[in-house]
Amino acid sequence: MRNRVRKIKAFTLSEMIVVLLITTIVVGMAYSVLNLVQKQMNGIERNYEKKTDLNLLRQSLWIDFNRYDRVFYSAKSGELSFVNELGAMNYTVSGNLIIKEKDTFNINWEVQKFLFENKERSFGEIDAIYFETTKEFGSQPLFVNKTNSATTYMNQ
């Protein structure tokens, strides 16, 4: 029997090092791209949450302005009260927080105006509110009003 030396087909050490180096670069780039995409998604999520909070507050105020006959505001106590013959609903306005029962809206406001017949008021009956968010929230306006009923004018 003869001992034959057989050559096995394989990669050389230098070829393997080149492959590992290229693989490391590709995997590193993939992780970098993944990290950038995650940061973008987190930014989009934060913006969506801010807009959602503002839209929920707008919807809640719109419903209450149209459900209740009279709306009162007191800057001293920070209370926004909605009243009709069937019941009442209260909002607490404290700086950037607006609290309605279990709901808390944390929105940064640049402008907060409480209006009655287009005149700003700090207490008493109102028929509209105008808020404007800070630049962080896109300087979005929030305007909600109601049509005054006859009882509004009779009680003044």
List pLDDT tens digits, range 76-108.
999 999 998 899 999 999 888 899 989 999 898
Predicted local confidence at residue 1, as pLDDT: 57
So what's the pLDDT on residue 149?
75
Residue 114 lies in a domain: yes
The pLDDT score that the predictor gives to residue 132 is 93
Task: Indicate if the pLDDT at residue 152 is higher than 80.
Answer: no
Q: What angle do CA 145, 59, 144 make, to 5 degrees?
A: 15
Our count of domains for the chain comes to 1
Range of the domain at 26: 13-154
Residue 136 lies in a domain: yes
Assess if residue 8 is contained within a domain: no
Q: In angstroms, rounded to a whole number, what is the distance separating the alpha carbons of residues 131 and 77?
A: 18
With H, G, I as helix, E, B as strand and everything else as coil, classify residue 146.
coil
Is 98 among the domain residues? yes
Predicted pLDDT of residue 22: 97
Domain annotation covers residue 2 = no
Q: In what order do the strands lie in the sheet with 141-145?
A: 119-120, 109-116, 128-133, 141-145
- At a CB cut-off of 8 Å and minimum separation 6, what does 146 contact? 65, 66, 71, 127, 128
Q: Which residue has the tokens 């940064």?
A: 108
The residue ranking higher by pLDDT, 36 or 10, is: 36
55 assigned to some structural domain:
yes
Residues in the chain: 156
Give strand pairing partners of 115.
Answer: 120, 128
109-122 average pLDDT score = 92
Instruction: Decide if 119 is inside a domain.
Output: yes
Q: Is the pLDDT of residue 2 over 70?
A: no
* 7: in domain: no
